Amino acid sequence: MPRQAISRPIRIASWNINSVRLRLANVARFAAEFQPDVLCLQETKAGDDVFPDAALAEIGFTHRAFKGDKGYNGVAILSKIPFTEKRYESFGGIDHSRHLAVTLEGGVELHDFYVPAGGDIPDAAANPKFAHKLQFVADMTAWCKRRRDPAARRILVGDLNIAPLEHDVWSHKQLLKVVSHTPVEVAAMEKLIATGEWVDSARRFTPATEKLYSWWSYRSPNWDIADKGRRLDHIWVSPALAGGLKAVETPRGPRGWEVASDHVPVIATIAL
């Protein structure tokens, strides 16, 4: 495909939907209100045989790719823009549905990831789920190293389940021993970013000194007032695309919708 195939900036969104069938109405509402050209979902919780493919086509996503497991995990890429080369890889030594990639018009690789949450105990020896998470991120880092190419046009999105910066969490001090913000996870993500030469798009527009969240626990009924959030959802771009970043939004509104996911979407506007 010629690179000039996409002549305008496009809107790419990433959202852990926490069951696409349960929250199909929210997907439709989001599509209508925020007009994404591409919507990458995580935790779809739908095997491929029950994925609501036809309903998502009716919403306006004429191009769709999905890979799911029954009742958990699952990723999907929904697009109004044609894409090719649907593919996926396994990370962390377990063949769960946690990665999906397509090539958009213009030769841009789009990778959708759902990194394991890691359980509650931040100790790889005592908690196999945490060990799996660390191995998953290490495999992503090795994958980036193998594919390093300064000219590559790539976008990586997803629920990466790590809040790497001090102001990506409501309390840096109190969350240092809580899975998602522990020093070992942060170090693993920093290595991943450096190896892949990724640009953290959200922090291009919201300084690292300002609080920014994309997830609020269901355990807090007054989530908006308490505001004890974490930034677990990310959109990264390769250096070749960084100059095309126009805006990044993390709208809080969808967290307050009926039957809401505990995550909100992240939306990047990018000139490709």
pLDDT of residue 5: 55
Instruction: Please provide the average confidence, as pLDDT, over all residues in the chain.
Output: 96
Residue 2 has pLDDT above 70, yes or no: no
H-only helix segments in the chain: 24-34, 53-59, 128-146, 183-196, 202-205, 223-226, 239-242
What pLDDT digit, counting tens, does each position of 148-200 carry?
Answer: 999 999 999 999 999 999 999 999 999 999 999 999 999 999 999 999 999 99
Domains and CATH numbers, the chain: 10-270 (3.60.10.10)
Give percent above pLDDT 70 in the chain.
98
Please tell me the predicted confidence (pLDDT) of residue 105: 86
Residue 109: is its pLDDT beyond 80? yes
For residue 174, the model assigns a pLDDT of 98
In the predicted structure, residue 4 carries a pLDDT above the cut 70 = no
- Quick one: pLDDT band at residue 1, thresholds 50, 70, 90? very low
83 has pLDDT over 60: yes
Q: What is the mean pLDDT of residues 199-221?
A: 97
- Is the pLDDT at 30 greater than 90, yes or no? yes
- 13 pLDDT above the threshold of 50: yes
* Percent over 90 (pLDDT), the chain: 93
Position 65 scores a pLDDT of 98
- Check if the beta carbon of residue 184 is closer than 8 Å to that of residue 134: yes
| 51-57: long-range pairs with CB below 8 Å, 24+ | 51/20, 51/76, 52/20, 52/21, 52/24, 55/24, 56/24, 56/27
User: pLDDT confidence of 7, banded at 50, 70, 90?
Assistant: confident
Phi and psi angles of residue 250, each rounded to the nearest 5 degrees, phi first = -130, 75
Mean pLDDT of 217-223: 93
Tell me the C-alpha distance between 83 and 243, whole Å: 22
With beta carbons less than 8 A apart as the criterion, state whether 100 and 76 touch: yes
